[in-house]
Structure 1
Amino acid sequence: MAKRTDVKKVLIIGSGPIVIGQAAEFDYAGTQACLALKEEGYEVILCNSNPATIMTDTQIADKVYMEPLTLEYVAKILRYERPDAIVPGIGGQTGLNLAMQLERKGILKECGVQLLGTSSESIERAEDRELFKEMCESIGEPVIPSQITYNLDEAKEAAKAVGYPVVLRPAFTLGGTGGGFADNEEELIEIGTNAFKLSPVHQVLIEKSVKGYKEIEFEVMRDSNDTAITICGMENVDPVGVHTGDSIVVAPILSLNDHDLKMLNDSAIKIIRELKIEGGCNVQFALNPNSSEYYLIEVNPRVSRSSALASKASGYPIARVTAKIAMGMALEEIPVAGGTAAIEPSLDYIVAKFPRFPFDKFADAPNTLGTQMKATGEVMGIGSTLEECCLKSVRSLETGVCHFHLAKFDSFSDDELFDYIKEFKDDNVYAVFELLRRGTSIEKLHEVTMITELFLESFKKIVEMESTLKANKGDIETLKAAKIMGFSDEYIASLWETPEIDIYHTRKENGITPIFKMVDTLHTGKYIAYLYSSYTGENASRLSDKKKIIVLGAGPIRIGQGVEFDYSTVHAVQTIRRAGYEAIIINNNPETVSTDYTTADKLYFEPLTPEDVMAIIDFEQPEGVIASLGGQTAINLAQPLMDRGVKIIGTDCAAIERAENRDSFNAII
């Protein structure tokens, strides 16, 4: 199929307000899609209701309607604008559900609007639990024993037939909303009552629980010529039972043997072809940890939260390519990073995504995890080893820790720690580390947590390095080994009982400084200014003669600090570039527009700590650093950076102090 020339005007429906399960990743997807369609010469109309987003800027789409995302309002826009087509899979579950409503109500037909990309039939087969189950069975793909129900009485009967424990999965909801595990009928009634209310089609799947299986995801892409590729395979550290948005996720897949990896990858490609999805698609599997038995959990026939993570993990612009495929373009016709979209990415590094939870704001809320997502945001660390990327991620979270150590677990007995980790909780990984420090075996921890041994062995290496550091205070070779593993200066300083700045100076004096590697997964030889630090290998970051300004990003989405600060940092970068300077951004949030490597002249995907930012400043030697646009994250970095001799431009530390310090502010008033 050739690029569509009969289509002139396209409507994209955004995702509306930031909610759990649907955050900044859809601003990233919507922005990419709008720009991709304009690049191909189409007129783009955007409908969205979130003023904090980049996608609602007037230069992103040709026309923006800041209106409620309801059937009534979108129908009015369609009747007035008369676009030729809608691309439904860009605005998350909100956009997808609205597009499906518009078709069912006959509004698309009335206005002569085509649904481009994945067809409504394919969307129905992927989203409707019963149709999905029938499709999987028809092509020989294993699905978990389950029954579709439409009321509580049916749900009770289904649970008896399937056998407890069961998991409830409402159809057409976001982030597992309304779902959960039930061990008995009483729990089923409690969860089911809400689940039926929240499903727009009042349909709930009652599914046999496979809690404890490995959870594996594939992000795959297909065009209308039936060319299908795998963009990224991802592995959840937590087993099935924790929503993937609440789990630590690692890419590429590390713990599977070649047989199981190929088996699941082949299944994902088979599914996207059977569903005839055109564009990106996320496929989730449950794999028995003791055999090659697997089940399909679900398919997202749209750009999803996992798509943003896979895009940043692989450097492959999934939303951009999806938009162009919707317009009839083939993968080999779409340029990506010096090659084409038909080339499968290949990672020569490891990434770890860590969820950011809101329990610091809601201390009395239960911190147990399940199939309903609770994380408000996420961070991603890129490293040469699993240990390095995990340690980068944990210090990116901004939860008051710089390492896998939570003081609250110091006073727990071994029995109390084991009781604590029997349930999935937001901070279990810190309790696991504490048990490893006390000599608990990997076998015992695997038995209790069902975390794959490979990850537990990696955690044990970190604990062993802690002991080595304690036993060799001041030793330069030990310091170098710890930095290669990913340890922060701050944590090493705490073990060596010395100020953090002394560790920094010791490293500098002994030549223990990071180099910067390039995220290059298509291996075309093109220079891509998407960079991460490492203490091994060769430097790939190229210095230019231009004057440089660094903009500090806002880190993970959390309560009180949302996508609005990504909006600010992106606009700062655009202004700096227009003024003729080289714009450099540092951020660690894979959901955002700012971490699209085409936004700034250079992107450093790094933790926002004084140490990590200072390493980039030492290398780049910028004219100054802007710390006033990245929310509290960037503001908190201003003073530590200034103390190290960095020039803070724009709102400086003195002005920040007058505004932030209540006594200083009152004195001015």
Structure 2
Amino acid sequence: MVENEPHSILIIGPTTSDKNVDLSTAVYDTVEILHQLGYKISVIVEDPTSLLSSGKFFDRIVVERVTGEHVLNFINEYHPDAVLPTVGDRNALGIVSSLNGKIGNVKILGSNYMASLATFKRELFIKKLTENKLPVINFISSDDEKEIYSFIRSIGFPIIARRRYSNRHSSGWTNINNLFELDNFMAIGDVDDTRIEIERSIRGFSEYSFTVVRDMFDNTALIGTIEDIEPIGIHHLDSNLISPAISLNDSKLQRMRSASLKLARAFDIVGICTVHFAYNHKTNEYFITEFIPRLSEETKFLEYATSYPIATSVVELALGYHLDKLQLDGGRVFNGASEPFVDHITSRFPQWGTDKQEYLGPSKTSNSSIVVNGFSVEEVFNKGALNDKLNNNSKRHDILEKLDDDELFEKIIHPTNWMLDVLLEALRRKFEMPVLSEITGITMPYLSVLNNIRKTFEVIDNDEVTKDNVERLVEMGIKNIGQSKVLLDTDDIVTKSVVKSKRSISVSNRNYNNQNFFVTSGIDSDLELNDKNKIIVRSPIITSKTDILVRQFVLTQLIKSIDQNGLEAVVIGREPWTAPLSMREKVIEIDDPYMEMKELGLIPEDSIFKIIDFSRHLSDVDDNSNVFQISSKKLKDIAISTSISIRAMVVTDGNNYLVPSLIYREDQDKHSFEVSSYNNFLSIEDRSALSELIERELENQNDVNVFNFEFSKSNGHWIVTRLYQGMTNDIIRHELASSVHVIDTLVKLILGNKIDDNKTLQEVFQNCDDRYLLTIDDKKYNLLAYDDMKEQLNKLKKED
């Protein structure tokens, strides 16, 4: 521990609205290292499921709305030594900015009042940058229409605009290119206490983000860079992202690196800061567009790309540790001042839930993403954005091919999520690359990459694959092209898919065993396995934000249980698993966008004990006797209108079963409430009735499995209205609520353990929890002790 450090810390958790699995993992890493270092930790969080079962590390968990009032009440009641907002979402920074002068000697760790306030107050941000002679954009915030129009005349079009409300929230940024569009924007009905914010538009500039860490002694390090392939003006998380930023020469990189470090110093950031830049490669003009003084989706992406343990490092820096003396696991020294060197490219491609074209703008519209790795930009394009299995690129190509040049040009001017496909078609038609770069703002290196891919497609389409060009094709991530005899018949390693370690740790951190691999081509495999039996865990192809949180939770519990039972876990998926730090050395993680691991034969069949699969989108060609399908499969669905229901998690060894967790739900007019871990409130009569129904449904089930039942009460009787085999989204609540952990029990049964015969009803439904999760209207959560919950239940049922 360092001198004058806090002993008790309050963490401001993410809000329910965020549903950000990256922050959930960051919270897990943060509280685990704090626990190992001996700190008392509390958290205020709206939804405890976002903690990914890290509850054992906390001294106190407060479940209520994450607001400044509730944070202040907690401080006044429990008197923590410090508040940590950097693992919360943007709301946490807003809370910190409102606490100035109200919390006495309680320290704010990481992001101070000034930095937090500047993320909301654009005027303060601009002023601070100007004072420190940092490049800044022309900006105004006003409710005076004349002042707004006068400012716009002084800077000219294009501009971007948004409305800022008094509650710190704002509308999304809107691109405005002329007076007509401005008048339409201004004509939208005003809201009380609303200001209009206008900025010079820098659409067409290239966008970069630099993430730096800094300790309180002004030691700094650049963790990594990210580049947007599409130009600024498109929302950062709707762009295709590349790390490291490959279009920067050293001179440009050093300019922005120096500006990032200067900004961190100006705001006295202790911990982490991500700085966004807009750069004009023609004029070398550049601006800082925003900064994020906390952990975010970007920092988690960088943590995966660079293997730098960001979340763990940030909290230790905030506590006063020197950058070069960080503690990876509470004891092992890690030199955080050594900037990571990366020998590969990592790319993040946004995903939309529709095949239709979506116009891109300054507001985020994508609902998910996929991350891939490679040794060339061509390889990551072919694995991600141009992967026909993920994005239906063949269908896109057929549609774009039918457009005339004017229609295609229109799609170049007004970018959609098909932008890379549109540019491929434009290059096929011999549109000039300098003209395309001028119009789109996409730099020449990426247009050259697309042109290389176009030429490759022509070689394949014309059946011109030869021994002279096959190596170049495979370097671009193209393998097993159609029925090409050259590829199918050759034994050359260059035509094969292999697994390559992500070499991205600095020399001073070579002892950090991060077992992270990806499938690539043309390089001898460096996957090394121990002699333990293995459980292969295959994760989904691509999922929504909510599904990702569930998957992350299930994976975390699976890995814990597999490790505790003496086996080795291998996680294979089309997108990386952003695992908590403590598990990255226990599991081999392989990012496999083509699901080729089985064909590679790199894991000896006799070492594979079991395959656990929740990639339900894949057609399983394995021996089904060795594959346990963990994703949900609907077995029964009966539509019945009822106000009272129970959802039950049932785990069975094929003969006997346990019901470790029940969720009781009651709907009352327009309101509802749910109680997790309802076992201890269930009457003997209801236990008997539910047990009889479960036995009837499982009569023909003779294998280890998990089932999710939904029972509805109709005319005083329980009936089974829904039945799923496998894990549903309820698993997090079941796991948090139950003292009998379903996933660990499942792993033990898979390994051959049995449930005892002749268990009594009390033993079948046994649950030893002393805390119960109450959910009101599916959005308000509260953790209550037994007596409090019983009182609440009686009150709620009387209201009905």
TM-score band, normalised by the shorter chain? Answer: 0.7 to 0.9
Contact 2:636 2:722 in 1 (8 A): no
Shift of 1:170: 5.9
Conserved 8 A contact 1:170-1:196 = no
Find 2:567's aligned residue among 573, 581, 596: 581
- Whether the 8 Å contact between 1:356 and 1:558 is mirrored in structure 2 is no
Cα distance change of structure 1 residues 562 and 487 upon mapping to structure 2, 3 Å threshold: same
Pairwise CA distance, 1:167:
1.2
Matched, 1:408 2:399: yes
Partner of 1:299: 291
Deviates more, 1:76-85 or 1:594-603: 594-603
| Whole-angstrom distance in 2 between the partners of 1:227 and 1:480 | 45
* Contact persistence 1:129–1:171 (CA under 8 A): no
Deviating more after overlay: 471-480 vs 88-97 = 471-480
Alignment partner, residue 25 of structure 1: 22
Partner of 1:518: 502
Conservation of the 8 A alpha-carbon contact between 2:393 and 2:421: no
Name the aligned partner's letter for residue 426 of structure 1. N
How large is the Cα RMSD of the aligned pairs? 3.7
How far apart are the structure 2 equivalents of 1:508 and 1:404? 33
Structure whose alpha-carbon radius of gyration is higher? 2
Higher helix share goes to which structure? 1
Q: After alignment, is 336-345 or 393-402 more displaced? A: 393-402
Taking the aligned partners of 1:36 and 1:404, their CA distance within structure 2 comes to: 48
TM-superposed CA distance for 1:249, in Å, is 1.4
Deviation sequence 1:141-188 (CA, Å, 0-9, x none): 221222232465543443233322211256699998522222245544
Q: Deviations over 1:18-51 (max 9, x none)?
A: 54xx732211222222122222211111222234
Give the letter for the 1:68 counterpart.
Answer: R
Mark the CA change 1:211 to 1:56 in structure 2 (over 3 Å): closer, same or farther: same
Match of 1:155 in 2: 148
Match for 1:226 among 218, 222, 227? 218
Tell me what 2:44 maps to.
47
Report the 3-state secondary structure (helix = DSSP H, G, I; strand = E; otherwise coil) of the residue aligned with 2:501.
strand
Q: Deviations over 1:389-434 (max 9, x none)?
A: 2222237797443789544323222322211121121121111122
Give the superposition deviation at 1:62.
3.4
Deviations 1:167-212 (A, max 9, x none): 12566999985222222455446556889869xx955531111110
Change (3 A) 1:577 1:380: same
Match of 1:631 in 2: none
Give 1:261's match in structure 2, choosing from 253, 257, 261: 253
User: Contact 2:11/2:42 (CA < 8 Å) preserved in 1?
Assistant: yes
Distance 1:303 1:513, change over 3 A: closer
Q: Decide whether the 8 Å contact of 1:635 with 1:656 is kept in 2.
A: no
Q: Structure 1 residue 599: deviation in Å?
A: 3.9
Distance 1:381 1:613, change over 3 A: farther
Q: Which structure carries more relative contact order (alpha carbon 8 Å, separation 6+)? A: 1
| Counterpart AA for 2:309 | P
Question: Could you say if the C-alpha distance between residues 251 and 52 of structure 1 is closer, same or farther in structure 2, counting changes exceeding 3 Å?
Answer: same
Query: 2-side partners of 1:511 and 1:293: how far apart?
Result: 44
Query: Equivalent residue for 1:241?
Result: 233
**508-517 or 544-553, which deviates more:** 508-517
- Give the distance between the partners of 1:616 and 1:175, measured in 2 at CA: 53
1:73: Cα distance to partner? 3.5
Task: Tell me, yes or no, if structure 1 residue 329 matches structure 2 residue 321.
Answer: yes
Q: Identity percentage over the alignment?
A: 22
Counterpart position of 1:35: 32
Counterpart mapping for 1:542-553 below 5 A: 542-553=528-539
Choose which of 377, 386, 390 in structure 2 pairs with 1:386. Answer: 377
2:343 matched to 1:348?
yes
How far apart in 2 are the matches of 1:191 and 1:25?
A: 35
Q: Unpaired segments of 5 or more residues in structure 2?
A: 638-720, 726-800
For 2:591, which of 602, 606, 619 is the aligned residue?
606
Is the contact between residue 12 and residue 88 of structure 2 (CA under 8 Å) also seen in structure 1?
yes
Letter in 2 for 1:320: T
Which of 636, 643, 659 is residue 617 of structure 2 equivalent to? Answer: 636
1:113/1:338 CA distance change after superposition, 3 Å: closer
Which residue type is aligned with residue 96 of structure 1?
L
Distance 1:177 1:618 in 2: 51
Q: Between 235-244 and 159-168, report the one with greater CA deviation.
A: 159-168
CA distance in 2 between counterparts of 1:155 and 1:358 reads 38
Per the normalisation by structure 1, the TM-score is 0.85
625, 628, 631: which one pairs with 1:650?
628
- Looking at structure 1, the residues matched to 285 and 583 of structure 2 have their Cα atoms a distance apart, in angstroms, of 41
1:388·1:484 contact (CA, 8 Å) conserved in 2?
yes
Q: Distance in 2 between matches of 1:304 and 1:384?
A: 26
2-structure distance, mates of 1:581, 1:151: 67
Q: Is the 8 A contact 2:456 2:473 kept in 1?
A: yes
Secondary structure in 2 matching 1:635: coil
Number of equivalences: 635
TM-score, structure 2 length as denominator?
Answer: 0.72
| Cα distance change, pair 8–170 in 1 and its aligned pair in 2 (3 A) | farther
Paired with 1:396 and 1:571, the residues of 2 have a C-alpha distance of 31
Which amino acid is the alignment partner of residue 23 of structure 1? N
2:175 aligns to what SS in structure 1?
Answer: strand
Which residue of structure 1 lines up, in the alignment, with residue 113 of structure 2? 120
CA distance in 2, matches of 1:560, 1:602: 24
Q: Which moved more, 1:520-529 or 1:235-244?
A: 520-529
The answer to whether the 8 A contact 2:570-2:590 is kept is no
Structure 1 residues 290 and 565: alpha-carbon distance in aligned structure 2, compared to 1, 3 A threshold: same
1:427 aligned residue (412, 415, 418): 418
> Per-residue deviation at 1:647?
6.1
Change beyond 3 A, Cα 1:616–1:186 = farther
Q: Does 1:251 align with 2:248?
A: no
Match of 2:475 in 1: 484
- The answer for the alignment partner of 1:81 in structure 2 is 78
State whether structure 2 residue 177 is matched by structure 1 residue 183: yes
Q: Is the Cα–Cα contact under 8 Å of residues 316 and 345 in structure 1 kept in the other structure?
A: yes
Checking the alignment, whether the CA contact within 8 Å between 2:412 and 2:422 is kept in structure 1 is yes
Distance in 2, matches of 1:587 and 1:597, equals: 20
Question: Structure 1, unaligned stretches of length 5 or more?
Answer: 629-633
Structure 2 partner of 1:13: 12
Q: For residue 444 of structure 2, what is the aligned residue in structure 1?
A: 453
SS where residue 95 of structure 1 aligns? helix
**Partner in structure 2 of residue 442 of structure 1:** 433
2:159 maps to which residue? 166
Q: Cα distance, 1:331 vs. partner?
A: 0.8
Q: CA deviation at 1:562?
A: 3.7
Structure 1 residues 588 and 467: alpha-carbon distance in aligned structure 2, compared to 1, 3 A threshold: same
Q: Which amino acid aligns with 1:253?
A: A
Give the secondary structure class of the aligned counterpart of 2:288: strand
One-letter identity of the residue aligned with 1:240: I
Contact 1:610 1:641 in 2 (8 A): no
